[in-house]
Every structure is written in structure tokens, then in C-alpha cells.
Amino acid sequence: MLGPLVAGIEALFSGQLPERMGVAVSGGGDSVALLAALVEFTKSNDIELHVITVDHGLRPETKHEIALVTDLCARWDLPHHVEFWTGWRGDGNLQAAARNARYGLIADWAYGNQITHVALGHTADDQAETFLMRLARGAGVDGLSAMSPRRVQDGITWVRPFLRLERSALRTFLRASQIDWCEDPSNENRDFERIRVRDALTVLGSLGVHANTLADVAQNMSRAREALDWQTFLAAQDAATLAYGAIAIERGKFRMLPEEIGRRLIVHAITWIAQSAYPPRRDAVARMLEAVRAGSGATLEGCQVLVERDVIWVFRELNVLRDVRCEVGDMWDDRWLVTGPEDDPDIEVRALGTEPLSNIPNWRELGLPRSALAVTPSVWYDDRMIAAPVVQHDPEWVAELDGGQDAFFAALLSH
């Protein structure tokens, strides 16, 4: 019975195997089944396997779950690390906060241990549940698209080998193999949306709508998203340019684009410049696009969208950057790396601002709006500006965008 589980793992690598691999194991049936399959896979392929469990500090049962994982790791002679999360303050969406924290902690652990790949135990049931929750919120193609079985994020390759397998099949394997697992009592708590959705799937099953059915639909949506991303990439290549950290979109060409492609192009510009993990809400985007079509500007996600003559400009909003500072050699605004002849910790990188820009001759020759140049990085010692390497050439000081000039276009195809 282990064969289909290992086959799902092998399909993700195509012969390019990592030297060291991690797996997140909570003690639940999905992740324990994944651990068992990875033990077989990594031993057969001479891969060093490491195990991590994240304790969110929210349930007393977690201690028992960690103990079970520890016993399994001892049984299979695997290193096991437990990471603790203490960031919950009682406000916002608990499950979302815990999920985001979990990914961050796992990524930090993997990076610190030179682990390039981390496996996660998501199943076809998780695909189906996520699909229904997003459907209830009126999500579009992107929101309804399937989770990717392989994705690079935070410098780590995250793999989900079980997205085509149902949860029940994994538990059948565990019972047959006499491997214990823990059931999370929160799986019976109807206060959580995901648990209510599981109840709904039981009802839908009587109509022939099963987890794998919805997983297939989500996969179809992923293919549609890929096609839309490709068309948006082509539109960006034709109509958009990257200039000194800002995105310039030819207004005439933008008007000729299908509505969805135009929307995706500007949303991508905003999320790329703001370095946002998620796009802004659709209603906010709709209001912004209405303003753009009317020839006026808007602000969204810490970015300014400005219509100036025949160009739609997208760039950082100055108010967001007024207090963003870093030392020379660090990444400023998560986008710019400024280097120069001095690394005195008293020297700071800040947003240029409008007043210092006025003192730089010939800045208008760069062809960008004043407000777009005002949010480029500059170097300061107290109240004295040392350099503005984006706006004013300086042989000693250099400001480079993370990823270079092509990063904006490449990110369109990075799903």
C-alpha cells in the first residue's frame, strides 16, 4: 500500500533529488502518512530526512502529538525539531495567523539547516475544502485554483505529494501498517469554517460531488490561471516598462486589453512593488481601476497609481516610506540594495522625498513623475544627504533593484 504514496513523491522530482529534505509533521494522519512514505523514499535515494513539528501553544493535546512524532522519529532514526509559536494575541483570524506563522518558522528552520525542500501533507480533501471556502467568498480564477504540488517561496521548495490522494486512503494505509496517529479535537469544532465545510462535503458526496471532483475543478482553474498569466505576461512585455523602480504602462495599449488582462497587469504591478504576499481585495481593485479609466489616480496597498498624460504609473506611496530606514548594505523597502564606499552604522538609507529632489538639477530629464522619483532610495548622514544614486549618477554609490530589471516580468510566470 506504500507504493502509491511513494509514487506521488517521486513524481515531484523527475530525477533531480535534493541532498537534504525536511517534512512538517503535526502528528495528524496526513502528515504521519507522509512521514512514513518519505522514510521509504529518502532511504532508497540516499537523502537526509529531517522532521519539524510546530507547537502553536493553543491546545493541551499538542504535547501528546509531539510525543507521538518524537517516538516515530526515534523508531526511524530521524532528527526531530520542535518549534514554538508565541505570537497569538487573541485578535484576527486564528487559523490564518497560525498558518502564516507556521510557514515562517518552518522556512527559517529549513534555511538554518541547509534544507532545500520541505514536504507538506495536504490532500485532495484540503484542496476541496479550500475550493469551497473560497467559492463562498466569490473568488475568481486565482482564488479557486488548486494548490501547487511544487512551489518555491522564502528560498525553500515546498512540495505537496498527496494532493491527488484522499484523506481516507491515507488512514487506510496507516491502519494496515499499524502506525498510530493523533486526531486533532478541533476537527470536531464547528466554530471553524473548514470543519463546517467538511460537513458540507459529506452532503455533497451524496450528489456525486466528492473531494477529488472538486480537486479536479481546482486543477482546471489552475490551467486557466496559467493561460491568463501568460497573456498578462505578453501584455506586460508590450505595454509596460520598469523605470527607476516604478512601472510605466502605456495608457492607449492598456485601454485595448481585455478587462481581466488589464486588471491582472495593474494588480501584479501593485503587488510586485509593495512586495505583498497576496493581491488586494477585488472591490478595492475595482474602485482603483474605475479611477484609472477616469484619468485620475488612486492609492492601494501602499502604492500610488497615477495617470499622467499617456502613461499609467505605479510606484510606492511616499507616506508609507517616510519612516522606512536601514543601514547601507541591507535591503531597503524589501526592494532596493544600496551599496557604497562607507558602511558607517550612522549612515542611513531613506526615501529621497520631494524637497531634496528639488535640489537635484535635471531630475525632470529622467521622464518620471516627481512623486515617483521621491520614493527612490537615498543615503543620509543625520540631516545631510550624501547620495541619491537612482536620480543622480554617483560613481561611488549604487542602488539596485532586487532581482534586476527583469524581475517584474519573471514574477508573472512564477506560480
Q: What is the pTM of this model?
A: 0.81
Query: What is the per-residue pLDDT for 187?
Result: 64
CA angle 87, 90, 92 (to 5 degrees): 95
Helix axes 62-75, 29-44, angle to 10 degrees: 20
Q: Within a 10 A sphere around the Cβ of 73, how many other Cβ atoms?
A: 20
At 377-410, the pLDDT tens digits run 999 999 899 999 999 988 899 999 988 778 899 8
Instruction: Return the higher-pLDDT residue of 413 and 295.
Output: 295
Specify the pLDDT at position 302. 95
Higher pLDDT, 183 or 305: 305
> What is the average per-residue pLDDT within 196-218?
87
Looking at mean pLDDT, say which of 61-70, 278-287, 311-320 comes out highest. 311-320
Q: What is the average pLDDT score of the chain?
A: 90
In this structure, of 17-21, 50-54, 58-62, 249-253, the range with the lowest mean pLDDT score is 58-62
pLDDT for the residue 403: 81
Residue 92 scores a pLDDT above 70: no
Residue 68 pLDDT > 70 = yes
Q: Averaged over 152-161, what is the pLDDT?
A: 88
Give CA–CA dist 317/122, Å, rounded: 38
Mean pLDDT over 127-132 rounds to: 91
pLDDT at 80: 97
Q: Which of 3-17, 72-86, 147-161, 206-220 has the lowest mean pLDDT?
A: 3-17
What mean pLDDT is predicted for residues 93-99? 73
Task: Quickly tell me which residue has 530526512 as its cell.
Answer: 49
- Report yes or no: 198 and 124 within 8 Å, Cβ to Cβ: no
Instruction: At 240, list the grid cell.
Output: 509596460
Q: For residue range 248-273, list pLDDT tens digits in order.
A: 999 999 999 999 999 999 999 999 99
3-state secondary structure of 330: coil
H-helix segments, 25-93:
29-44, 62-75
Scored b (16 or more CB within 10 A) or e, 14-52 reads eeeebeebbbbbbbbbbbbbbbbbbbebbeeeebebbbb
| Greater model confidence, 190 or 80 | 80
